Structure 1
Amino acid sequence: MTIDELVRRTLHDWSDEARVPSDLASRALGRRRRSRGKTFAVVAGATATVVAAVFTVPALVQGEQRDERSAIAVVTDPSPSRETVGDPDSALPGTLVAAGDTAVYSYFTWENVKTPNGREVRKLTWRLYDKGSQAYEETPWAWLDVAPGGESVAVLEQLPARRVGVIAGRGAEVRWIDLKHPAGSVQWSPDGRKLLLTNYGGNPDESYPMVNNSQKAMPPTRTGYSVVDLDSGQIGFHPVRQDENNRFATRLDFSWSTDGTLVWEHNSTPPGTKKFYDLDGNPRSAPPEVADTYQRAGMSPSGRLVATDSPDRSAVTGVKDVGTGKVTPLTPVDGYWIEQLAAWADDDRLIAWACEFKAPDNCVGSEFRNRLVLVDVDGGKAEPLTGYRENNQKPGSWEPVFSRR
């Protein structure tokens, strides 16, 4: 079977997933590579209170003009807790999930909704962590992202949206920024001073339903990406059409590079590689260590390590030392098969999706029955952070969004 056939078949298999993620090709290939290991359990923590600091950003924008009369105060956190906390007994997290410098301040569940025109829309229900109640609370937004520090939130009220809202601190009013190009997603920059919008002409979560194990491709609607500079109040739109080879991926969002100087999208050819652009819309060379990794976590905070793929069949995932080139496979540990490296907690630990391992049957029940775990970079220890998603391919499943604490 060729790589293209493999990815195409997996795209069909994943037609019930909440949204086609930007790292779809990597996950399509990663799910095919499997192996074996042993058993584990335990660990949880307590929620910590954080002190917030505020910096003022002159950035209520109308169209592409700066509004000198207004300012958005983006709340950050100068001394966040680094305690590991989670909810390992719940299928759907109820209390904060966090480790090291990274937290799940928001997540969404999804369901397929039929439309009058015979299509389906993956409707997302977003939950946001409330530090007052110390629980995740349901929100009315169609899309959201939480700024570093866990206080300020960017929101879209529909998909695609003609404006993006910024809630500068929990409980604050929404400040709206009008957009000339409608957006289907929003993401904060690593420094919390910019917003990255992926622009679409239609709803990126709309698709044709699967019929007899086949699916009609939707016409691509992505138009490009926009960078909202909250310091200057400027919006820069950069047209980048969707790759026609990604016929079944209606949502193909852009993401920030680790240092926030570039944005990237996944290539369809070859699968798993990334294409980078600067903030002015110009194509740029990919940072060599993250150009071809299938793992979402990418580069570690210090740049010393990169989440990558195992060089042998003992594991799917691994950690590469950038200086030496040595790759440490993350073989089954403490009863878990490490499926996907989702985010860095710090330079020594990663947050990963893992399924319960039991030789000779590999993952018990299914590889799609998985949970978030905290794993050491040397693969020596794993701690559960959440309960199991019984099947992440079925409606009702949840997807985390990671933010810096």
Structure 2
Amino acid sequence: MNIEELVRDSLREQASGQPSPATGFADRVLAVRRRRIRRLASVAAAAAAVVAVAVTVPLLDSGRTDVRPAEVIDGTVAHPDQWLPRDMIAAGRTTLAAYYTEQTVPTTPSRGVATRTYWLLNPRTEKYWMTPAFSDVAVAPGMRTAAVLEQSLPAHRIGILNLTTMKIERWIPVAHGVGGVEFSRDGSKLLATTYIENPDVRAPSAVNEETGEWAWQGPLGSPRDGFYVLDAVSGAGRWSAVPSGREINGRQDFAFSRTGEQVYSRIIGSRDGLQQFYDLDGNKIAAPANEKYLRSDVGARLSPNGRLAALGLTKEVGGSPGKSYSSIRDPLTGKEITKVRGAQLLAWADDRHLIAWERTTSLEAPYLPRLVLVTIGSDKVVPLSGTYKNIGKVVWEPVFAER
């Protein structure tokens, strides 16, 4: 029963069986109504405060968190009982918008293709939907649409997928074959990395003596030849050639800089953070000042306000489970500011919290991680997902997007 219904019932009770109202009775009734509304509002506010406290105080580092599917802090939804997530996982401004598993499928005795299976978040049902139809998926900010590529690579069209209906709304044709896609931070532009051949081709390297299964390795060198920068709405844009050499192997997709005015990719053997920047014409350039000390193999990169840089693993501490720590630095100087829990920093939830992989085993045991929320200035972690199972068989890689 809400406040208005309580007031109406109160008035009916006062009116029932009463003589005709005296002068000023209406004013007295309104005064009673106002007092009751104030009391009810106070009770509601107190109840809301209790609920907020219950929601915002997590059970940190407790075995009970392994079965807790509820929200753990403001804006955070965790499912630590789900090792392949079925229901939405989110923290702050960031959501696990999709994830994928990868398996090499033999096509000939001497050739295989690393093939992905995606799980995409439906924003209406808040559940992940499995599809083997796509080789690459990028989710736009707001999580209503995604750019997708079909399994046969390189692709000559980019699909724009409605994540609520899970239907392709339109196709963007491209003359140069595409192997990877990504949205800019504001969602206005689409970056498509082009390849002459399928970048996910694998060759058998050795046989596992215990299982009898082949181990696969990617090619030396890369068939990458450039990138498109396209308007996300109209699909208009242009292609820029970028010759590939020995500095990259296999699939090395380009990614946007923070501003979207440059792109970069990972390179081999670099001393400046394993990344090379290019302008939108495909020319090599120096890294922007606030991205000079970042690493392309650390997904979180700059904090939302741009004042902190997430770097790689710097310290591990034994125990059961072991603890991992990664570096947080000043993006302009590269100087370490602090360390934060997490073996691999994946995305910023806000300016103080990050989503990371963290181990659930001792340093002597096989590495079995789970998705966690970590806080700068705190040694505690909040589990977001379940723990990897079947080590060496099935792992999943996250795809994040802003809500």
Q: Does the pair score TM above 0.5?
A: yes
Does the residue aligned with 2:177 lie in a helix, a strand or coil? strand
CA deviations over 1:263-283 (Å, ceiling 9, x no partner): 111121226421112223232
| Match of residue 204 from structure 2 | 209
Does the residue aligned with 1:210 lie in a helix, a strand or coil? strand
| Match of residue 47 from structure 2 | none
- Cα distance in structure 1, aligned partners of 2:186 and 2:217: 40
- 1:158-237 to structure 2, matched below 5 A, reads 158=151, 159-168=153-162, 170-171=164-165, 173-211=168-206, 217-230=219-232, 233-237=235-239
Contact 1:166–1:176 (CA under 8 A) maintained in structure 2 = yes
Contact 2:339–2:376 (CA under 8 A) maintained in structure 1 = no
Contact 1:305–1:321 (CA under 8 A) maintained in structure 2 = yes
| Match of residue 318 from structure 1 | 327
- In the superposition, the TM-score normalised over structure 1's length comes to 0.72
Does the residue aligned with 1:208 lie in a helix, a strand or coil? strand
CA deviations over 1:330-388 (Å, ceiling 9, x no partner): 25xxxxxx211111111010101110254xxx26x322x11111000224321011111
The reply to whether residue 102 of structure 1 matches residue 101 of structure 2 is no
Unaligned runs of 5+ in 2: 1-59, 208-214, 318-323
- In the superposition, the TM-score normalised over structure 2's length comes to 0.72
- Cα distance in structure 2, aligned partners of 1:310 and 1:112: 28
CA deviations over 1:299-323 (Å, ceiling 9, x no partner): 1010111102466677551112447
Structure-2 change in CA distance of 1:355 and 1:177 (3 Å):
same
The reply to whether residue 348 of structure 1 matches residue 352 of structure 2 is yes
CA deviations over 1:131-171 (Å, ceiling 9, x no partner): 33321111222221111011011111132101001135632
CA deviations over 1:163-182 (Å, ceiling 9, x no partner): 00113563254301111101
Which deviates more from structure 2 when the two are superposed, residues 316-325 or residues 273-282?
316-325
| Match of residue 240 from structure 1 | 242
- Cα distance in structure 2, aligned partners of 1:245 and 1:321: 28
- Cα distance in structure 2, aligned partners of 1:309 and 1:169: 33
- Cα distance in structure 2, aligned partners of 1:117 and 1:357: 37
- Cα distance in structure 2, aligned partners of 1:214 and 1:138: 25
Contact 2:86–2:128 (CA under 8 A) maintained in structure 1 = yes
- Cα distance in structure 2, aligned partners of 1:205 and 1:216: 7
Q: CA deviation at 1:390?
A: 2.8
Structure-2 change in CA distance of 1:243 and 1:289 (3 Å):
farther
Amino acid at match of 1:154: A
- Cα distance in structure 2, aligned partners of 1:255 and 1:203: 19
- Cα distance in structure 1, aligned partners of 2:177 and 2:226: 10
Contact 1:110–1:122 (CA under 8 A) maintained in structure 2 = yes
Structure-2 change in CA distance of 1:192 and 1:215 (3 Å):
closer
Does the residue aligned with 2:258 lie in a helix, a strand or coil? coil
The reply to whether residue 152 of structure 1 matches residue 145 of structure 2 is yes
- Cα distance in structure 2, aligned partners of 1:233 and 1:111: 31
Q: CA deviation at 1:395?
A: 3.8
Structure-2 change in CA distance of 1:265 and 1:135 (3 Å):
same
Structure-2 change in CA distance of 1:165 and 1:103 (3 Å):
same
Q: Which has the higher contact order (CA 8 A, sep 6+)?
A: 1
Structure-2 change in CA distance of 1:128 and 1:169 (3 Å):
closer
Structure-2 change in CA distance of 1:231 and 1:96 (3 Å):
closer
The reply to whether residue 304 of structure 1 matches residue 307 of structure 2 is yes
Contact 2:159–2:168 (CA under 8 A) maintained in structure 1 = no
CA deviations over 1:184-209 (Å, ceiling 9, x no partner): 11111111111111111111111111
- Cα distance in structure 2, aligned partners of 1:92 and 1:300: 27
| Match of residue 294 from structure 2 | 293
When the two structures are aligned, how many residues end up with a matched partner? 321
Structure-2 change in CA distance of 1:198 and 1:391 (3 Å):
farther
The reply to whether residue 373 of structure 1 matches residue 369 of structure 2 is no
CA deviations over 1:208-229 (Å, ceiling 9, x no partner): 1122689584452111111112
Q: CA deviation at 1:258?
A: 2.3
**Percent identity of equivalent pairs:** 36
Does the residue aligned with 2:170 lie in a helix, a strand or coil? strand
Q: CA deviation at 1:230?
A: 3.2
Amino acid at match of 2:311: T
- Cα distance in structure 1, aligned partners of 2:240 and 2:142: 28
- 1:329-340 to structure 2, matched below 5 A, reads 329-330=339-340, 338-340=342-344
How well do the aligned residues superpose, as a CA RMSD in angstroms?
2.8
Unaligned runs of 5+ in 1: 1-37, 48-80, 332-337
- Cα distance in structure 2, aligned partners of 1:316 and 1:254: 28
Structure-2 change in CA distance of 1:366 and 1:284 (3 Å):
same
| Match of residue 124 from structure 2 | 132
- Cα distance in structure 1, aligned partners of 2:226 and 2:327: 32
Contact 2:81–2:385 (CA under 8 A) maintained in structure 1 = yes
Based on CA coordinates, which of the two structures has the bigger radius of gyration? Answer: 2
- Cα distance in structure 2, aligned partners of 1:357 and 1:291: 34
- Cα distance in structure 1, aligned partners of 2:285 and 2:383: 38
Contact 2:154–2:198 (CA under 8 A) maintained in structure 1 = yes
| Match of residue 15 from structure 1 | none
Contact 2:360–2:387 (CA under 8 A) maintained in structure 1 = no
CA deviations over 1:39-88 (Å, ceiling 9, x no partner): 644285658xxxxxxxxxxxxxxxxxxxxxxxxxxxxxxxxx96101221
